[in-house]
Amino acid sequence: MCFQVPVAQAVFTGVQLELINRIGDDSLHGFTPVETIEKGFGGIGKINTNVRNELGGIGEVTNIDDIRHIGDINYEIDHMNSVLETSLAAEQAMQLGDLRDIANLKDITKDFKSIGKLGKSSAKRRRFSHPENFFPGVTGMTEVPTFNLTINVEATCPLPFGPYFRSIDGTCAHPKNLGAATKPMARLLPPVYEDGIQLPRMFSVSGRPLPSPRVVSRMVHPDVDRASQFTIMLMQWGQIMDHDMVSTPLPIEDTRDTHVCCGPNKSLPLGSEDPECFPILYHGDHKFIGQCMEFVRSMPIEDTFGDIVFPRENMNAVTAFVDASVVYGNSDEMLKKLRDKKGQGIYFELINGRPKDNGLDDCIRRPGRHDICYLAGDERVNEHPGLTAIHTLFMRKHNLIAHRMRTLVPWMPDEMVFQKTRAIVVAITQKIMYNDWLPIILGRETVTRAGIYSPPNTRSYFDESFDPSIFQAFSTAVFRFGHTLIPKELFLGGKNHTRLRDLFFKPYLLFENFDEVCINLVTGYSDKDRSQQYDSFITEEVTDHLFETQEGPMQGFDLVALNLQRGRDHAIPPYNDYRELCGLHRITRFDDPVLGIAGPVLARVYDHPDDIELFSGGVSEQSALGGLVGETFNCLIARQMRSLKFGDRYFFTHDRGNQGFSDAQLQEIHKYTLSHFMCETTAMAEIQVDAFRKPGYDNPMVSCDFLRRNSLRVEPFAYVMG
């Protein structure tokens, strides 16, 4: 029998079960819960001392291989790891109830923290100074860690301008292949693994366990409906651009079976030995059945021998660049599937103006119907109709340009037609992203001072010193700010709006209501059809009903909890560390005006301001600097987008000699807007001038026929590239 504590049952695996069983036996002999935990962990001090003594003889530990050759302490290291795993299980169990008043908890965890500091101190010694601030007026990255990521490719593209056209996998966009698909993500700050190398962040600075991500989600990010002045497209463009820049793969077994981390009916698992499981635990939650939410750790980077690189790092499966990889894919194999073989390969294969079937079961197909799951350059295409619609419009735009190119120059080789068309699509994507969308998110002053905005009639230059890799915090927290903008409903025709929970993985809804979905994204049918305001509030459609099905009510996911757990999985440092990195003051009290109305709620969840996680802290800030996001996310988004521009030698405004765009071609690109894009690829009759903002006196409606007649002309691109 296990000992009784005022919490729900914990998750225990492998060796942990044996240790906990011993603890349970001791509890039968009169020990209190705290005493039994202390007794079970009693050997940790000896292990810690022995490991320190041995490691002291070999100098700094930079790789797990440095430890493996110490044969005489292998057993103790294994034992230490098992105890650390048990501490993780105990920490998760403690999240399920209110153990914050157990005075001895800090002492219980002290030895575990000291072991973690051993690895952390090693990580801190491996730093170097970054050569510059990321934009004027904001102090920048004074210390950035280096890591032994041996799979990084050496410079293989030494030519001044690289190949004529951009590669499909991002290689040669940077001479060192930084930012290419399947390369490691970067970091702005050292990781904060609990053991210094791979265990997720678990403890508060007070020594107590961090709160359950589900608790943070429910308390800090409730559903408060506040429509903004922006269209749903502001959110939707952000999502598809996020998919264009980032995809963090999960480990998949050879059988492609999903890792199962929870027990039946979302009960707490017992006996699971899957090292990649890191489930989110909750207790007494009336929104979900059970007590466990599935969560699998991101796939770790491995060296050339197939061993995990430590400290644990993660891969970006797609190209980091804003290069329309969501349209074209990230491999020649994917691109081949997308191209129309009957049309000499210059077009995307569309069926009745829609993408073709991918042949997979990654969406809902109704029995007895001919529903399809769409094929696109990114596998997340079928998540919901708004996302699927933008994928479809991009493919239509490619085909329109390719058809015009073929008409103008019928003798042009097929591959040249396709690649020139692709270059134009990438350029208009970058223009809309950098000149139209980012100024709303960051404010005009920031995008100008950071060099992000590209004024017409100006040139920019590639700078090899910029690393275009996506940094971990951007992927797992910063660019997820768009989750605050998600509306709870979408109009699909008829009399009523449809709840978001009823739209997930149902692309057939788009097939039946395509025009309605597109109009809803930009013009809208009512005041409901707007992005939500930027704040800490997030609709319950994604916090209580994410990917929920009608057959499985109360069995969805919590997007915010997933964000926070992913941040812990990737060892993202706390919010305050990034404020300091950006030259901003550290938050020392929860009533700091920067946190606004979220401060008192954060105080109920976290022990100390230094515990606040980057996502929750960032979206709790008030909008700043004339943009949508607060000052911390403003700084970090500007840093990332600046690197993606100047670290990409194919960026559309860069001077690349006769390989880049000419002045006449740039003029066509600069005049192109999202409103042009929507009118050309849909049957819409009219649209507002700025498709990201709601129509009004200062954003009037204009005829789509007019925009189609005055859109990007292909003629300047047809005969020469530069």
Nearest to 694 by CA among 232, 90, 172: 232
Residue 483 annotated as binding site: yes
Measured from the Cβ of residue 527, the count of other Cβ atoms closer than 10 Å reads 8
Number of Cβ within 10 Å of residue 607's Cβ equals: 17
Q: Smallest Cα–Cα separation from 386: which of 219, 266, 494, 243?
A: 243
DSSP states along 401-470: HHHHHHHH-TTS-HHHHHHHHHHHHHHHHHHIIIIIIHHHHH-HHHHHHTT-S--TT--B---TTS--PP
How far does CA 593 lie from the centroid of its chain? 28
Q: What are phi and psi of 343, to 5 degrees?
A: -100, 35
Distances (CA, A) of 679 to 438, 682, 683: 22, 6, 7
Q: What is the residue type of 397?
A: K
Q: How many Å from the N-terminal Cα to the C-terminal Cα in the chain?
A: 77
Distance, CA of 686 to CA of 670 (rounded, Å): 21
Phi-psi region of 158 (alpha: psi -120 to 50; beta: other; left: phi over 0): alpha
Burial of 317 (0-12, 13-18, 19+ CB in 10 A): middle
Distance from C-alpha of 519 to C-alpha of 482, rounded to nearest angstrom: 20
Q: Dihedral, CA atoms, 110, 113, 114, 115, nearest 10 degrees?
A: 130
Burial class (CB in 10 A: 0-12, 13-18, 19+), 193: buried
Burial 680-715 (b: 16+ CB within 10 A, else e): bbbebebbbebbbbbbeeebeebebeebeeebbebe
Q: Is 286 a catalytic residue?
A: no
Q: Is 136 left (phi over 0), alpha (psi -120 to 50) or beta?
A: beta
CA distances from 100 to 91, 104, 395 (A): 12, 10, 54
Q: Cβ distance 119 to 197 under 8 Å?
A: yes
Round the CA-based radius of gyration of the chain to a whole number and report it. Answer: 26
Pairing of strands 280-281, 183-184: unpaired
Q: Are 468 and 643 in contact (CB under 8 A)?
A: yes
Q: What dihedral do alpha carbons 44, 45, 51, 57 form, nearest 10°?
A: 180
φ, ψ for residue 308, nearest 5 deg: -65, 135
Which residue in this structure is represented by tokens 């950098």? 434
Q: Are strands 183-184 and 315-316 parallel, antiparallel or unpaired?
A: antiparallel
Q: With CA atoms as reference, report the closest residue to 389 among 507, 308, 241.
A: 507
Among 174, 243, 384, 670, the active-site one is 243
Q: How far apart are CA 650 and CA 398, in angstroms?
A: 19
How far apart (Å, rounded) are the C-alpha atoms in residues 600 and 407? 64
Which residues are documented as binding site for heme b?
483
- Which residues are designated catalytic? 243
Which residues are documented as binding site?
483
